[in-house]
Structure 1
Amino acid sequence: MPPPFGATDATHHRPGFPKGGSSVAVTRALPEETAIAMVYDGTTHAVMMATPADVQDFAVGFSLTEGIVTGLDQIASCEVIPHPKGIEAQMWLAEDRGAQLAARRRSLAGPVGCGLCGIDSIEAAVRSLPTLAGIGPVLTVEEIASATESLRGWQPLHDRTRAVHAAGFLLPGQGVVLAREDVGRHNALDKLIGAMVRQGIDPAQGAIVLTSRISTEMVQKCVMAGCTILIAVSAPTLHALRLAEGAGLTLAAFARGEGFDLFCHPQRLRAEVFDVA
């Protein structure tokens, strides 16, 4: 049987084996993972394995970052429907967006580790990105270095399970103000972007913070959302860096409290810190 709709974890009792000791009884909370189908105008477009929480945020964010819509007003309705083997996010689009989607219909079925699995052409996987306009927000060294630590306070599911990713939104002078969690890093990012749009928060006013590496898809999603700064606890891939350079996205990686590496577009970091021979 699938988990109850909305369940994000469950406890399991198992033997544990501490180092150098004998078997002891332990109780672990494990994150739930459910098939979530993105259905547009009655046709399934994508099926993702994801944490069954914040599904409307997920549906809206996925729609925006995949270019299916360019604004919340182009989604006429969104209904979350649980099924015995998964969940459907049923969306009906404005007439013009529905016609455009029908013209470029694709099939995608990806595991939590890779949201690009199932794309049926090279062009779709390495799509062109818009160029981010303007400088946008400017952050201090301290704000970037402490961003992932600030995000830690927004990860209750991680605290229980130690098995999920998070994506958060940081505003200058305020720290992280919103976050979402999921078993998939790209799902967490889509959920965050959807939550921001639904709450009227402009992604261009702050930075997105990730608990994962910076992959190609994470850059694509941030740029499609209009966010100009991406901060992560781990490294970018080379292709992700190339995309960020071309799109005008500032990348800060290895942000773990004591510092970070700035990979491209330093104009969004206070200029007085650049005292390098």
Structure 2
Amino acid sequence: MDVLKQINITRLEDGVKYPKEDIVILESRVSFYLNGEKIISTMCIPQDGDAHMIGFLLSEGVIEGVGDIEHLEVLNRGLEVRMQAKIQEQNLKNLYKEKTLVSGCGGGITGQAGNEMQVEFNTSALCVSGRWVLEHVRKFYQESELYLQTGCVHKAMLLFSDDETLFSEDIGRHNAIDKVCGRAWLNHKNPSEGILVVSGRLSSEMVSKAVMHHIPIVVSRTAPTFLGVKTAQTHGITLCGFARGKNMNIYTHPSRIKSDDNLSS
């Protein structure tokens, strides 16, 4: 499905109006079906639906890994995703029970509640150069095709130590994370071995997704919330905000980020 739509608008420049063609992003309701039952509909860009559903269910703990998936298909021009899988019934019930409306754009829903997540403390030994991370953050913002065309999407990237990168874009920043984590598994990459770079603020539900995927380092150009910082601290996540130019703020567990004066160590 073509997710870009051309429309006619009126442009105002220096007090003068004139007709102009513009490009906008397609927003659609995509439905997820699990073991024959519709579990949720989400407003998103109708692409990468398989990755999106995988990432979402892993984020919520409904499936424990891609090995639990028996069958997965995308139907109806991307508007319907169906999965047969072995599931964690209680976590699926929590999704229906809690239904927390998250602060992310697009109105996402989560059944995970920050510090109540039963996830082991992240003890990853991943340690990287701050300079190397910032170089990739610069590229991250330069290489966003849908954003450059529409100005209307968020982006998520998984960055691995061998310089391999995976990207996803969506109108919802939480959707972008789910999609990139699902895409990693479809590409036989484990998100827990990478660094998550996101375009939006680091609120608690964004950090919670990193917790559920066991991602050790999360980076954004913007700010975290207090609960986002607390969630990262509690679960062993290195949380970096305001990653711009040559600078960043490291809010939690800073030992995973090397400074320039100890790059050889």
Q: Quick check: TM above 0.5? A: yes
Distance 1:149 1:22 in 2: 36
Pairing 1:106–2:99 present: no
Which ranges in structure 1 are unaligned for 5 or more consecutive residues?
1-5
Given the alignment of the two structures, is residue 91 of structure 1 paired with residue 83 of structure 2, yes or no?
A: yes
* 2:207 maps to 1:219: yes
Residue pair 1:170, 1:178 contacting (<8 A) in 2 also? yes
| Residues 1-150 of structure 1 aligned to structure 2 (within 5 Å) | 6-18=1-13, 20-82=14-76, 87-94=79-86, 97=87, 99-100=89-90, 104=94, 106=96, 112-116=105-109, 124-126=112-114, 127-150=116-139
Tell me the secondary structure at the aligned position of residue 146 of structure 1: helix
Contact map agreement 1:116 1:217 (CA 8 A) in 2: no
Q: 1:99 to 1:186 in 2, by over 3 A?
A: closer
Identity %: 25
Q: How far does residue 219 in structure 1 lie from its aligned partner after superposition?
A: 0.7
The match for 2:245 is 257
What is the CA-CA distance between 1:147 and the residue it aligns to?
3.3
**CA RMSD after TM alignment:** 2.4
Give the Å deviation of 1:100: 4.7
Match of 2:147 in 1: 158
Kindly tell me the number of residue pairs found equivalent between the two proteins: 258
For residue 107 of structure 2, what is the amino acid of its counterpart?
C
- Richer in strand (by share): 2
Deviations 1:26-60 (A, max 9, x none): 22211111111121112122211000111111011
* Unmatched 5+ stretches in structure 2: none
Helix, strand or coil: the match of 1:106?
A: helix
Compute the displacement of 1:113 (Å): 3.3
Cα distance in 2 for residues equivalent to 1:165 and 1:28:
19
The 2-side partners of 1:129 and 1:143 are apart by: 32
Identify the residue that residue 3 of structure 1 maps to in structure 2.
Answer: none
Secondary structure of the residue that 1:254 maps to in structure 2?
Answer: strand
Q: Distance in 1 between matches of 2:251 and 2:94?
A: 34
